[in-house]
Each structure stands twice: as structure tokens, then as C-alpha cells.
Amino acid sequence: MRDRSFAPSRILIYLIVTLFAAAYLAPLVVVVLNSLRTNEEIAQSSMIGWPQHLAWSNYALAWSGFCVAETCAGIRPYMLNSALITIPATVISTLLGAIAGYAVALWRFRGDNWIYGIVTLGLFLPQQMRLLPWTIVLRDIGLINTLTGLVLIHTIQGLSFTVLFCRNYYVAIPHELIRAARVDGAGFFRIFWRIILPLSSPILIVTVIWQFTHIWNEFLYGVTFTTGQQQPVTAALIALSAAVADIPQHGVQSAAVIVAALPTLLIYLFGGRYFVRGLTAGAVK
Amino acid sequence: MVRRLPEFLMIWVPLLLSAAHLISFSIWTIWISFTPSTLVPVSGWVGLRNYNAVLASRNWQIAFDNLLLFGIAFVLLSLITGLLLAILLDQRIRGENVLRTIFLYPLAVSFVVTGTVWSWLLNPGIGIEKLVHDLGWTAFRFDWLVNRDMAIWTIVIAAIWQSSGFAMALFLAGLRSVDADIIKAAQIDGAGPFRTYRRVILPTLWPITITVVVVQLQFAISAFDLVRALTNGGPGIATQLPALVVYDLMFQRSQLGRGAAAAVLMLLILLAVLLPYAAWRYVQRRQATHA
């Protein structure tokens, strides 16, 4: 059944996958084309159409020109906010997750199973259960409406994922390796830097991609805990569509959407292969 | 002891912070749900009053009905789409890598972007309906986005587009891990492709199917960004979902007690899905270790 001949059934298979591929690509193609059409052109016809002449100015406006609320600086400041939230939170939560995952998997200590079990509960607890407490905590420590506050939230909440990913990866490392190193006098961190970390690239790639896309795409905390100039780009996009509801500017908006989605799309295009491999390896086992 | 300080800081502080915030935040939200808190958290005890108020509200009832319909339709359709795509890609077709990338890329995009883009495509004034009208077929109607009865289906469409690739990836991995000898044996016994799939290959996919269902249901229950960007709960409150009700009560109506009660109700709905799954996993593990 898995032959490469060109029977009619195979032509049908190609036809169906091509149709599906077109349906999955269509929204992206529509937005890219619209980002190159002028607002007037879109208003005269529909969102679906070929650009008559390429309006690159949409990108310039989207990046640093159009207005959200009273500020007219485009999405550049919000992109910067998202980067300043996502990069530290991803790096810190991944590093701490790797160390903690290594400790839980290979360096047994009292109560390790209990605390690991509680930490993984974080995968399931809805964000809505943590919204009010975070509001209070951020206010009390003076981090409400700051990027640092969001970094803190994403780092702590991200640990549930990073500890789980890393622990599941590290339990497969032979304990003898650790035991031998300990006999030779190596301590906790020496073993981590010298033995564990060099073996970790597959799981670190998965963890970094997961954390980066999730934190970059996160919306609820961003919109709840920040306002105005402190917002991440997801929250700014919603504010933008509200702002242009009266005078539609779909060309500029499309360009903004593309720019906002670009970092995670690029990460996925370059790292997606490793990500799927790691993801499916964990799920199929 | 001093020598072990960095170790203590790097292992215990993050783990304890994570565990402590999960437990204390949950208990705190549950506690608030039993207090008369409105604009600010206050102590006191009102029993189930907040729960009764939420459950009696039209907003919650519509949100719950929508969740049932959205959850079931979205999970079933994304399973079917994902399985179909996985089976098609499993036929050793050319360009498999490119196709897999195409089916998976929506996963990388935020729900805000997905919701925004689909709100344009589905908007009768500027989207698909307008395009067909401009092509000359003026009787064509596709106004689900602004139609009270159909608007929830626009969320189903966007959600399937976004995450059926996830189901496909897992199913494809499952199909590829089926023992080639078993397939060969079935073929030698004279089974055609359909029979081989139905009798030999698909039954091995049960564990993956259940994982996919649980993950997708979890997403459906906490869906917020997608709806916020696509319909914002409208028209009227026709596409209201529990996550939007919680946000509305907490931050727009300043009803902290009720908002917390709605959040706890969301947790209960989630537990209704997760506890049977956890029990099933537990039984599976025990069977695996005893076998």
C-alpha cells in the first residue's frame, strides 16, 4: 500500500493534500497580499485580492508610524516589549528547568517526587485561577504594569513545562554515568556543566522553542497586567484593531500582523523539525 | 552547608516558588470565591452565593452551552482532520516535509493573529462573502460571523485551522511507529489497504487519540485569546465562553467573588476531563509494569 506508482488513487491523494495545503496557506497568503495593498484598494474590493501596485509603505507605517491609543509609534515599541519579556523569561525558565529537572531525575533528594508532582500540576491549572493572585502579588511587590512583572510570571509558570520536559529527558541518562563522576569527586554543578549540559541540546531546543512561542504569543496576562506603552505586541494588536474600527486600515493592520507573527514563524521554520521530533517522541512513548 | 548554598538556591528556590505559587494561588482563588468580594478582596463568608449567581446568569449559561458545542465539534473535527492528513502523508508521497510544515505552521502563530485574520476572512463586508459577490454571484451568503446562531462555528473553524496540525503530527508519529512486520503479515494474509488500516494500524492509535483529545479539550476549556480577537464574545453574547466570563466579572464588572467562582467552575470542568484521563493513565501504567 505504500508504493510510489501513479495509480488513480494516488492522483486522488495528491489532489486532496494539495487542496488541504491551499486551505492552510490561504490565510497567510491573504494577509501577506493585503499587507502590500493600499487601504483604499482593499476598501473598494475585499480582503481577498492581488495587489495592484506594491504598497511597501504599509510596513513602514505598521512598524513605526500608525497610532495605538494616543501614541503614534507603530508596533516597534510593543515588539521590543515582547522581546524584552520573552527572551529573559525563556532563557531563565529553561536554565532553571534544566537544573531542577536534572536534580529531580538524577540527584534524588527528600521529597523530590512530591515537589515534582506539584510543579507539573501547573500544566493543567487554568490561567484564570491565577489571575487575581498575580494581580495582588504584582501590586504588592510594585511590578504591576512593568515588563519585569511579566518576566517573573512567565518564568515561574514556565517552570512547570521546562522542569517536566528536562526531567523526562534526563531520566533516560544512565545513572552509572553520574555515579562514576561522583566517585571521581565531581559535585552537583560540575556534573551538570561537564556531563549533562553537553548531552542536552535536543531537549533544550524543544524547551526553548516551546517557551519562546508560548510567551511571545501570550495575551491574557499581557492585557491584564500592562497598559499603554508597557504592553506586549499581542495586546497592542487587539488595541490596534479596536483603534482602526472606525476607519479601517486593513493594509497597515495586515503588515502589523505579519511583523508580530514573524519571530515565532521564523523560529518554527528553522527549529520546527527538532520540535516535532521532541514533541512526538514524548507523546508516542 | 555554605558549599551547598548555590545548589540549594538553583534547585529548591525555583521548585518551591513554582509549587508554592500553584498551591497558594489556587487556595486563595477558591477562598475568594466564597467571600463577598467585589472591587477589592475582602474576608467574610457567603457560602455558595457567588456560585449560584454565576450559574444563574445568562452569560454563564450561554458560555457553558457554547463550550459544550465548541469543545465537542472542535475536538471531533480536528481529530478527523488530523487523522486524515496523517494517513495521507503516510502514503510515501513526494514533498511530505513541505506539506507537514504547511499543516503545522498555524501552531506557531498566536491566537490573537489567528483570530484577527479569520475575523477578516469571515466578515461578510470584506471577506469571502464580499469576494464572491464581486465575482458576480450576489445571492451567496456566508455571514456566520455576524449570525447569532452560527457565530460559534466561526470559532470552531479558526480553532481547527490553528491546531489540527498538532493532531496530525502526533498521529503521523503513531502511524510510523507501527511495527512493519505486523503490516506485512496482514498484507500476506490478503488484507487490502483499507482493511489493514481499519483492523491493524488504527487500533494502535488509541493512546495517541486520547492524548490529543485531552490536550485539545484543555485548550477549548481555557480558550480566550482566539475568541477575544475573532468575535469578542459577540454578536451580543452569542460566542461567550467561560474564560471570557471570568475576565468580564473580574476586570470589567469588578465582581471579584463571582469571577473567582467562575474560575473555580472552569477548573471543575477541566477536572471532569482530566481526572478520568489520569485514572486511565494510571491503569495503563500498572498494566504495563505488570505485563
Q: What is the 3-state secondary structure (H, E, C) of chain A?
A: CCCCCCCHHHHHHHHHHHHHHHHHHHHHHHHHHHCCCCHHHHHHCCCCCCCCCCCCHHHHHHHHCCCECCECCCCHHHHHHHHHHHHHHHHHHHHHHHHHHHHHHHCCCCCHHHHHHHHHHCCCCCCHHHHHHHHHHHHHCCCCCCHHHHHHHHHHHHHHHHHHHHHHHHCCCCHHHHHHHHHCCCCHHHHHHHHHHHHCHHHHHHHHHHHHHHHHHCCHHHHHHCCHHHCCHHHHHHHHHHHCCCCCCHHHHHHHHHHHHHHHHHHHHHHHHHHHHHHHHHHHC
Q: HSE (CB half, 13 Å, CA atoms) of A232? A: 28
Residues B145-177: pLDDT tens digits?
999 999 999 999 999 999 999 999 999 988 988
Query: Please, what sign has the CA dihedral across residues A136, A141, A146, A152?
Result: negative
Cell for A49?
Answer: 485580492
Cell for A278?
Answer: 521532541
pLDDT for B67 beyond 90: yes
Cα-trace Rg, chain A: 24
* Of B190 and B265, the one with more pLDDT: B265
- Sorted by sequence, the CB contacts under 8 Å of residue B184 that are 6+ apart come out as none
The helix/strand/coil state of B277 is: helix
pLDDT in the model for residue A254: 94
**In whole numbers, what is the pLDDT of chain B averaged over residues?**
92
pLDDT in the model for residue B8: 80
pLDDT in the model for residue A279: 67
Residues A8-63: pLDDT tens digits?
888 999 999 999 999 999 999 999 999 999 988 888 888 888 998 888 999 999 99
Q: What is the mean pLDDT of residues A180-208?
A: 91
pLDDT for B238 beyond 90: yes
Q: Are B110 and A264 an interchain contact pair (Cβ–Cβ within 8 Å)?
A: yes
Q: Chain B contact for A55, CB < 8 A?
A: no
Which of B280, B17, B26 lies closest to A163 in space, CA to CA?
B17
Which chain B residues in 89-108 lie under 8 Å from chain A, judged by CB atoms?
89-93, 99-108
Q: Chain B contact for A234, CB < 8 A?
A: yes
Q: Which of A13, A19, A24 to mutate to test the interface with B (most CBs of B within 10 A)?
A: A24
Which of A247, A254, A211 lies closest to A86 in space, CA to CA?
A211
- A138-156 residues labelled b (16+ CB within 10 A) or e (exposed): beeeebbbebebbbbbbbb
The helix/strand/coil state of B282 is: helix
Q: Which of A55-64, A96-105, B183-192 has the lowest mean pLDDT?
A: B183-192
- Contact residues on chain A for B118, CB-CB shorter than 8 A: 27
The helix/strand/coil state of B7 is: helix
For residue A71, the cross-strand partners are: A68
Element at B176 (helix H, strand E): helix B151-176
pLDDT for A168 beyond 50: yes
- Give the global pTM: 0.93
Which chain B residues in 206-265 lie under 8 Å from chain A, judged by CB atoms?
208, 211, 218, 221-222, 224-225, 228-229, 243, 246-247, 250-251, 256, 259-260, 262-264
pLDDT for A3 beyond 70: no
Tell me which residue has cell 545548589.
B7
Report the distance separating Cα A139 and Cα A149, nearest Å.
9
Neighbour count for residue B230 (Cβ, 10 Å): 26
Q: Are B19 and A264 an interchain contact pair (Cβ–Cβ within 8 Å)?
A: no
pLDDT in the model for residue A153: 97
Q: What is the mean pLDDT of residues B268-277?
A: 94
Q: Are B93 and A14 an interchain contact pair (Cβ–Cβ within 8 Å)?
A: yes
Q: What is the mean pLDDT of residues A133-144?
A: 95
pLDDT in the model for residue A63: 93
Which of A110, A102, A60 lies closest to A259 in space, CA to CA?
A60
- The answer for B232, left when phi > 0, alpha when psi is -120 to 50, beta otherwise, is left
The helix/strand/coil state of B190 is: coil
Cα-trace Rg, chain B: 24
Q: Are A28 and B108 in contact (CB under 8 A)?
A: no
* Of A278 and A32, the one with more pLDDT: A32
Q: Which of A117-121, B71-75, B287-291 has the lowest mean pLDDT?
A: B287-291
pLDDT in the model for residue B1: 47
Looking at residue B124, the DSSP 8-state letter turns out to be T
Query: Chains A, B: CB contacts under 8 A, how many?
Result: 250
pLDDT in the model for residue A69: 67
Residue A119 amino acid letter: V
Q: What is the mean pLDDT of residues B259-278?
A: 95
Q: Chain B contact for A183, CB < 8 A?
A: no
- Contact residues on chain A for B21, CB-CB shorter than 8 A: 130, 133, 156
pLDDT in the model for residue B192: 83
Report the distance separating Cα A240 and Cα B39, nearest Å.
28
Q: Are A225 and A131 in contact (CB under 8 A)?
A: no
pLDDT in the model for residue A1: 46
Cis peptide before B235 (omega within 30 of 0): yes
A251 to chain B, minimum CA–CA distance in Å?
12
Q: Chain A contact for B278, CB < 8 A?
A: no
Cα A239–A41–A61 angle (5° rounding)? 40
Task: Please report, rounded to a whole number, the percentage of residues in chain B having pLDDT higher than 90.
Answer: 73
**In whole numbers, what is the pLDDT of chain A averaged over residues?**
89
So what's the ipTM on this one?
Answer: 0.92
- Contact residues on chain B for A100, CB-CB shorter than 8 A: 10-11, 14-15
Burial class of residue A56 in the structure, from the number of CB atoms within 10 Å of its CB (0-12 exposed, 13-18 middle, 19+ buried): exposed
B149 to chain A, minimum CA–CA distance in Å?
24
The helix/strand/coil state of B263 is: helix
Residues B32-56: pLDDT tens digits?
999 999 998 999 999 999 999 999 9
Neighbour count for residue A63 (Cβ, 10 Å): 17
Task: Please report, rounded to a whole number, the percentage of residues in chain A having pLDDT higher than 70.
Answer: 94
Q: How confident is the model at residue A283 (pLDDT cuts 50, 70, 90)?
A: low
Cα A120–A125–A131 angle (5° rounding)? 125
Report the distance separating Cα B112 and Cα A179, nearest Å.
49
- Sorted by sequence, the CB contacts under 8 Å of residue A186 that are 6+ apart come out as A194, A195
Q: Are A126 and B243 an interchain contact pair (Cβ–Cβ within 8 Å)?
A: yes
For residue A68, the cross-strand partners are: A71
